[in-house]
Chains A and B, each alone.
Chain A
Amino acid sequence: KQEVTQIPAALSVPEGENLVLNCSFTDSAIYNLQWFRQDPGKGLTSLLLIQSSQREQTSGRLNASLDKSSGRSTLYIAASQPGDSATYLCAASPNSGYALNFGKGTSLLVTP
């Protein structure tokens, strides 16, 4: 059974800092790895999706990497802004290709 763990559970940084969020998964046989953002009381917004054959994906100030052999993914946020404050979730999709196994998330607070 796939277990997805996110560290740290919470993070507070001053505006402008670069930061890294970590995600680990126990079963390396994944189809893809996705990062989502969840704002309080809102739904999930997809940020980045890394297919199993890829090593990283980039979108603006966000960069996500995937190392299947070690069961790890990282989300790098450059030059953080207060608007980045949210909970960040990673999710691993199994080879069946449709269900997602989520971590509990990292709650990020970026202070002005």
Chain B
Amino acid sequence: DGGITQSPKYLFRKEGQNVTLSCEQNLNHDAMYWYRQDPGQGLRLIYYSQIVNDFQKGDIAEGYSVSREKKESFPLTVTSAQKNPTAFYLCASSRGRSEEETQYFGPGTRLLVL
């Protein structure tokens, strides 16, 4: 099956702890994205990567970090600097930079603070 997988489905973070959310795709897509979703709001872009070993900040990058060492993987770390991390996190991917490309989404990870 081709698609995007995110793990874990639920994640709990303690105060001062960094946690890492996994995103893997086997679609051979060049571009990958991380979004945050809060209740009653649309998705907001955290980081995106157009190609391996390159990534850019989105609209709400503060308190987050990413890496893109492999084409199929784009992990997101929520650092202790992110003061309000409770949200639903969605990873997406697309083939590349073409104006015609569609973004496909994973099933999401819900992060909760203990």
Partners in one complex: no
Binding site for A on B (CB under 8 A): none
Binding site for B on A (CB under 8 A): none
